[in-house]
Each structure stands twice: as structure tokens, then as C-alpha cells.
Amino acid sequence: MNGICSKCHAEATETYANSLHYTVRGFANSLIGFAGDPNALDDPHKGLGEVWNLNCATCHASCGECHVSRPQNYAGGLINKHEFFSSPPMESTCFGCHGARNAGEFMGTVGFARDVHFEAGMTCVDCHTVDNFHGTGEAYASMWDKPALPSCLDCHENAAPGKSELEAHNIHGNNLSCQVCHAQANQNCFECHVDISDDRTKLSSSSEMRVLFRIGLNPNPTEERPYKYVALRHIPTTADSFSEAGDGLLVNYDDVTNWKHSPTHNIQKSTFQNESCDACHGNDRIFLRESDLRPTDSAANKLLITGAPPALNP
């Protein structure tokens, strides 16, 4: 971060050095959580450290990989000759790293329909402030710890529970994240397996992908996200995903969920689950059930199972 960019943009590069986009600390802490060892990634030639070094650590973005070129792990190359973009073009940059999930869902390349905000001509920077990309200088543990994440109420103040003209918003209060009613089916990955080449220089992985929609209990209610019910997304990690790098690497596997609270980016005003009260309250297929859990899933996922849909008030 002390190269050419810092000569004119010292404040931005100094802040960016601790950002999640540059350090990929969120991914690191996710692996460390499964491993139960804060030093699990320290040795780049052993165990999870080898996996991290050959794969995850290659995903961080430099200044140039957003403002003048495409990310190296996407396609690389200049976006438009040597033109520098103050606001990077979403299709060439954000999509390059996030296209399999949030950016792909937002733009309609994953799932069933584009996000209504994308259809209206909006881009990532219309909701995400610059410190969501450059960081604030503080080393946050994950994206959920950022102090200024976008909220639907930033623009839709009249939808706030207790202040809305819509009875459904007021009745549900803060029991639901907005995505529970307004998100579509999202991308879910299962059964990840990592392969490492014989010379230990290359890593590849494979997983099963399914587009589906599940509502579950909020694994971590906070003041900012107090909801009881949230939209979920399954991540592909299994207890033996990284067995080629060693045995028993994820000793805390059953203590960490691999169904996660998901801020899906595929919003619609009208969805199949909000077309009527019964479309949600009478539809147990969209609530996480025991039958949704695979034998390879973490035991902690049982804490997210909702049981039968909440009963309608008489």
C-alpha cells in the first residue's frame, strides 16, 4: 500500500491497508472459527495455512484492481486502456469477486430475477458508502462489524415498523429482516472439497450449487440486527473440505453454523412469500427444517431451525 497510489492518496491507502477488501480478514476469521485456533493460518505450508496461502489469500484487491483493472482472480487486464475510474464500474470490478453470490444476484446472473434497485439503474455505490470499500482504518473482524452498513431504512424510512402505512410492516415489527419478505431465492453452495496439486503449488475446489430460499432464526441478534427471523444462505464448508491439507483441521466444526444470515441482494417489492399472509405463514417449505440439514452439516445449524411457521393471529 506504499506504492504509487499513496503518493497522492495517502489517507485512502493508509485506511485501505486495514480494510476487509485488502486483508480478506473476514474469510480468515471464518476459517479460524471452524479451526478453533487463532494461529491456524500462520504456516503457509501446513494445514489450513497452506489452503489459505494457495487460495483465499489470493483474493484481496489492490487499488488498481478496482480503479483501473479487473481483479486478477476474475480476468485481470485493464478495464478501458489506462483510464482510471473514481467509481469503479460494477460489472468489471464488484462482479468479478462477488458475482457468484451478491453481485450476481443483484445483476440477475444468479437466481431468477434482477434486484429491483439494479433495474432502476442503481449500482453498489448508491447504497455502500466509500468506507465500506476503503475501510475506516480500524481492523474489523468481519463485514458484520462495520459501523455503516447499508440499511433499507436509509431510503425507505416510511417502511419502518410502527411508522409505515403498510399494516404488515407494523405487525411484524423488528421480528423480520427486510429480506425475509422481499428477497428472492439465493445461491447456496454445498459439499466443498479442495484438491492440492502433487507439487503443492496449486489448489482447486469443487462444490454443489443450488438456488433456493430458506428462512431461519437469527444466529446473532444485535442492536443493529435484532431480528428473530432472517434469510439464510448455505456456505459449502464440510468437516473434511480441507482433508488434503491434513486431518482434524476443523475441530470446532460442529460449533459453527454453515447456514448463515444472508444480506441477499436480490430484492423485489412483490415476492412469492409476501403475496399473501398464507404464502409465508402457511408455507413450511421456506422455513429451515431438520430435513434441510445434510449429514455433512454442522450440528450448530439445529439452532437455526424455526420449526413450524409462526401461527397467524386470529
* Band (217; pLDDT cuts 50, 70, 90): very high
Distant-in-sequence, close-in-space partners of 166: CB < 8 Å, separation ≥ 6:
159
Residues 259-314 pLDDT 10s: 999 999 999 999 999 999 999 999 999 999 999 999 999 999 999 999 888 887 64
What letter represents residue 152's amino acid?
C
pLDDT tens-place string over residues 141-179: 998 888 788 999 999 999 998 899 999 999 998 899 999
**What are the tens digits of pLDDT across the range 220-234?**
888 888 999 999 999
Q: Average pLDDT for residues 51-56, to the nearest whole number?
A: 89
Question: Grid coordinates standing for 166?
Answer: 403498510
pTM, full prediction: 0.91
Q: How many angstroms separate the CA atoms of 236 and 228, rounded? A: 24
What single DSSP character describes residue 216?
E
Give the count of beta carbons closer than 10 Å to the beta carbon of residue 103: 22
Q: Can you read off the three cell numbers belonging to residue 226? A: 435484532
Distances (CA, A) of 121 to 106, 114, 118, 276: 11, 11, 5, 29
Eight-class DSSP state of 248: S
The CA–CA distances, whole Å, from 197 to 34, 204, 236, 243 equal: 24, 8, 21, 13
**What end-to-end distance do the CA atoms of the chain give, in Å?**
61
pLDDT averaged over every residue in the chain:
92
**pLDDT digit string (tens) for 66-95?**
999 988 877 788 999 999 999 999 998 999
**Strand pairing report for 215-217 and 259-261:** unpaired
Distances in whole angstroms, Cα of residue 178 to Cα of each of 23, 225, 258, 282: 30, 11, 21, 19
Q: Which residue from 168, 129, 173 is spatially nearest to 151, judged by alpha carbons?
A: 129
3-class SS at 173?
Answer: helix
How does DSSP classify residue 117?
A: H
- CA–chain centroid gap for 104, Å, is 12
